[in-house]
A and B are shown apart, each in its own frame.
Chain A
C-alpha cells in the first residue's frame, strides 16, 4: 500500500540571509497524504513549505501566506490567473480586457463554492482580509493541480468557514501540505501532523494518535 513519493527531504537545512531557519529535517510525503505543519510563528513552517514547493513547482497549486493578489485587478482576473499556463498569451490578454463568458462561468462556479460569487467583478484590493484569503484559495482551486501547498489558508476565517474551505481543498486536491494554527482543523482534516520548534521537527505522527493537548503543549495554539 506504499503510495508514490511526492516530496522527500533528507537532512534539509535552510535559512534566510545567513540566519538558519530549518535544521536537519527528514520528511517524506506520499501521494494522497494530507499533512498539517504546525508550530509557533518563526518556527520555520513557511520555509519548509517553500522547500517542498521548490521540488516540483509544476505540480503544485500554491496558497501563499500573504494572499498575493493583484489588488487593482478584479477577483475574476485573480482567480483566472491560476490557469494562465493553460491558454495562449493572446487569449490571456484578450481575457484581461474582455473576459470570455465561458471563463467567467467557470470562475463563478469556483467563487460560489467559497462564497465570493457576488464579489466576482470587485477589485481584489477592495475585499476584506477574509475575502482576500478566500480569493487566494479560489485561485488554487481553479488551478487544480494535484498537490496543494497552503500557508495558513484559513487564518482569517472563523472555525466553521475555515473548516468548509479545508473540505473544499481536500475534495479538489489529492495531496495536501497545510500550515495551520488551529489544532481542531489539523486533527479533523489531515492524516498526519508535523510540529516544528525553532527550525527542528519535534512531532511527526498520525493525527489519530494525537490529542489536542499533545499539540497545545508544543506551541500554545488556540484551544
Chain B
C-alpha cells in the first residue's frame, strides 16, 4: 500500500464531491422543517403499540425468507455449475445490477401486485448476488485436496468431500446475513404496494402518524436484531415451509403467461420497431431518432444527477464512517460503552436508506439533500461498524496511546487501506441506490424509469434500466481498478467477512 496513492485517491474523491456539491440542488424547501422534525421526534419517542399490523410483520418475514431462499438456491446452482462461464457471469451481473425496486415495478406488470412479484423481486437480484459471492468463496477456498483425489472419483463425490466442506461454513454465514438484507428489501418493496411493513410505514409517514410508525419500526428493528436467534440452520426448514404457507394472496391478474408474452414481445420492444417493418431502413432510422431522444432527454441528465448524488453521498459516508467507528470499538469505548455504540450503529444500519430518504423528504421538502443524508448515514453506519471490528482486531502495543492520539496515530493510519477498500466497494452500491432514489422525485435515473413506467412506456423504461446497469458496471470496474492499483484488492469488502467479535 502506497501512502501517497491512498492520500491522492482520497483527495480526488473529496474534491469531486465538493464540485458536485456546488452544482447539486440541496435547498431545504419545506416551510417549517423544524416543526415537523419536532413532531417526528415526539412521535418516535411515544410508539403506539396498538397500531402494529401483525400480518404485515409476518408477511415481511415470509417474503424475505422465500425470496432469499430461492435466490440462494439459484445462486448456489449457478456458482457450482458454471463458475467460469462468461455468459452466466454476465447474466448474474445484469440480474444483480437491477435493483429489487425496479424488478418489482417490472414484475407487477406481469404478475400483478401479488406474492409472486414480491418473492421474485427479491429472488432474482439476490440470485445474481449469491452466484457472484458463492463463486468468489469457492475461488478463495483451499481446494488442494481436490487434486489429490483418486482418478475416477465421481464429480458429485469430489464436490461433497473436497469442496463443499471447505466452503459450507462461509456459504451458511453469508446466506443468513443476506436474510437481514432481504428483510430490508421487503420493507422497501412495501413502498410500491407490497403488503409488508413498509406499506404501512409509508401511509403512516404520509399522514404524519409518527407514533404508529415508530411502533412498527421498533418491531422491525427487533426482527433484525434477533435474526441470529430465529434464523439458524436448524430453524430454516420450518421457516421456509411456514413462510410458503403464510404468503399473502395476490391481487391483480392471474393470467401471468399471456401478460409475460405481451410484456416481452410487445411492451418492451422499442416503439419504432413495434410498428415498422424490421427489414426497412426507415424503421431503423426512426429507432435511432427514438434512442437519441431518450439518451439526450432522459439518460444523460439522469446519469449526471445519479453521479452527482453518488459522489456526495460516498464522501459523506466515508467521513461519517471515520467519525463513527470508534463508537463500536472496545479499544476506544471500553467494555461498557462499546455495546451502546454498537446498538446505535446497528439500528441506523437496519434502517433502509430508501425509507430514511422518504421520511427526510417529508421533513425537508424535495431536493437532493434527503437522498444525500439518507445514503451517507445508512452506509456510514455500515462501514463504521465494520471498521470498528477491524479496529478491535488490530494488535496494539502495551504502551499504545489513548483516545484521540490512538485514533490519529495508530488506528486510522493502520486501517486506512481497509477503509478505502470498503469505500470503493460501496461506490457501486451507492450509485445503484442513488438511481433508485429517483422514484422519490430526485431526478436521477430512477426518476425517469418511474415516469416511463407510469406512462406505460416500458420500452423507454428498459432503456433507462439498462443505462443504470451500464453505469453501475462502469463504476464497479473503476472501483476494482482503483483497488488493484492501490494494492488493497485483497482486503475484506463484504460484511460477512469482517473480523468476528
What is the interface of chain A, defined by CB distance below 8 A to chain B? 57-58, 61-62, 64, 66, 68-73, 77-78, 81-85, 87-89, 92-93, 96, 136, 139, 143, 145
Contact flags B295-312 to A (C-beta < 8 A → 1, else 0): 000000000000000000
In whole angstroms, how far apart are the Cα atoms of A85 and B168 in the complex?
Answer: 23
Instruction: Determine which of A68, A71, A84, A143 lies in contact with B147 in the assembled complex, contact meaning CB atoms within 8 Å.
Output: A68
In whole angstroms, how far apart are the Cα atoms of A92 and B156 in the complex?
Answer: 9
Give min CB distance, B397 to chain A, whole Å: 29
Give min CB distance, B199 to chain A, whole Å: 43
Q: Are B153 and A66 within 8 A (Cβ)?
A: no
Q: Are A70 and B165 within 8 A (Cβ)?
A: yes
- Sample (16) of A-B pairs whose CB atoms are under 8 Å apart: A61-B150, A64-B148, A68-B145, A71-B166, A73-B165, A77-B161, A78-B145, A81-B148, A81-B149, A85-B150, A85-B153, A87-B157, A89-B157, A92-B154, A92-B161, A145-B150
Q: Which residue of A lies closest to B154 (CB)?
A: A89
Instruction: Determine which of B152, B160, B162 lies in contact with A93 in the assembled complex, contact meaning CB atoms within 8 Å.
Output: B160
Known contacts A57-B151, A71-B166, A72-B165; decide if A84 and B145 are in contact (CB<8 Å): no
| Those of B155-173 within 8 Å (CB) of chain A | 156-158, 160-162, 165-166, 168-169
Q: Is B142 an interface residue (CB 8 A)?
A: yes
Q: Which residue of B lies closest to A82 (CB)?
A: B150
Known contacts A57-B151, A64-B144, A64-B148; decide if A70 and B162 are in contact (CB<8 Å): yes
In whole angstroms, how far apart are the Cα atoms of A64 and B147 in the complex?
Answer: 9
In whole angstroms, how far apart are the Cα atoms of A145 and B153 in the complex?
Answer: 14
| Those of B442-458 within 8 Å (CB) of chain A | none
In whole angstroms, how far apart are the Cα atoms of A103 and B71 in the complex?
Answer: 38
In whole angstroms, how far apart are the Cα atoms of A77 and B149 in the complex?
Answer: 12
Chain B residues closer than 8 Å to A73, beta-carbon distance:
161, 165
In whole angstroms, how far apart are the Cα atoms of A28 and B153 in the complex?
Answer: 29
In whole angstroms, how far apart are the Cα atoms of A136 and B144 in the complex?
Answer: 12
In whole angstroms, how far apart are the Cα atoms of A62 and B148 in the complex?
Answer: 6
Give min CB distance, B377 to chain A, whole Å: 39
Instruction: Determine which of B147, B148, B151, B165 lies in contact with A139 in the assembled complex, contact meaning CB atoms within 8 Å.
Output: B148
Q: Are A84 and B157 within 8 A (Cβ)?
A: yes
In whole angstroms, how far apart are the Cα atoms of A68 and B142 in the complex?
Answer: 8
Q: Which residue of B lies closest to A78 (CB)?
A: B145
Chain B residues closer than 8 Å to A83, beta-carbon distance:
150
Chain B residues closer than 8 Å to A66, beta-carbon distance:
144
Known contacts A64-B144, A64-B148; decide if A72 and B166 are in contact (CB<8 Å): yes
Chain B residues closer than 8 Å to A77, beta-carbon distance:
161, 165
Known contacts A70-B162, A72-B165, A92-B161; decide if A84 and B151 are in contact (CB<8 Å): no
Main secondary structure of the interface of B (DSSP, over half): helix
Give min CB distance, B154 to chain A, whole Å: 4
Known contacts A70-B145, A92-B161, A96-B161; decide if A58 and B169 are in contact (CB<8 Å): no
Chain A residues closer than 8 Å to B154, beta-carbon distance:
84-85, 88-89, 92
Q: Which residue of B lies closest to A72 (CB)?
A: B165
Chain B residues closer than 8 Å to A88, beta-carbon distance:
154
Contacts A72-B168, A96-B160 given; 17 further ones with Cβ under 8 A? A57-B151, A58-B151, A61-B150, A66-B144, A69-B145, A70-B162, A78-B145, A81-B148, A81-B162, A83-B150, A84-B149, A85-B151, A87-B157, A89-B156, A92-B154, A92-B157, A96-B161
Chain A residues closer than 8 Å to B168, beta-carbon distance:
72
Chain A residues closer than 8 Å to B157, beta-carbon distance:
84, 87, 89, 92-93
Q: Which residue of A lies closest to B163 (CB)?
A: A70
Sort A-B residue pairs by CB-CB distance and give the 8 closest, nearest first.
Answer: A85-B152, A68-B144, A84-B153, A92-B157, A85-B150, A72-B165, A89-B154, A89-B156
In whole angstroms, how far apart are the Cα atoms of A62 and B145 in the complex?
Answer: 11
Q: Are B144 and A72 within 8 A (Cβ)?
A: no
| Those of B102-161 within 8 Å (CB) of chain A | 142, 144-145, 147-154, 156-158, 160-161
In whole angstroms, how far apart are the Cα atoms of A168 and B229 in the complex?
Answer: 50
Q: Which residue of A lies closest to B169 (CB)?
A: A72
Q: Which residue of A lies closest to B157 (CB)?
A: A92
Give min CB distance, B348 to chain A, whole Å: 35
Contact flags B405-427 to A (C-beta < 8 A → 1, else 0): 00000000000000000000000
Q: Which residue of A lies closest to B144 (CB)?
A: A68
Give min CB distance, B172 to chain A, whole Å: 12
Chain A residues closer than 8 Å to B152, beta-carbon distance:
58, 85
In whole angstroms, how far apart are the Cα atoms of A83 and B151 in the complex?
Answer: 10
Q: Are B148 and A93 within 8 A (Cβ)?
A: no
Known contacts A81-B145, A89-B156; decide if A70 and B161 are in contact (CB<8 Å): yes
Q: Which residue of A lies closest to B156 (CB)?
A: A89
Q: Which residue of B lies closest to A57 (CB)?
A: B151
Q: Which residue of A lies closest to B161 (CB)?
A: A81
Chain A residues closer than 8 Å to B149, beta-carbon distance:
81, 84-85
Give min CB distance, A185 to chain B, whole Å: 22
Contact flags B219-248 to A (C-beta < 8 A → 1, else 0): 000000000000000000000000000000
Give min CB distance, B169 to chain A, whole Å: 7
Chain A residues closer than 8 Å to B166, beta-carbon distance:
70-72
In whole angstroms, how far apart are the Cα atoms of A136 and B147 in the complex?
Answer: 13
In whole angstroms, how far apart are the Cα atoms of A57 and B148 in the complex?
Answer: 10
From B156, B165, B169, residue with most partner A Cβ within 10 Å: B165
Q: Which residue of B lies closest to A143 (CB)?
A: B150
Give min CB distance, A171 to chain B, whole Å: 20
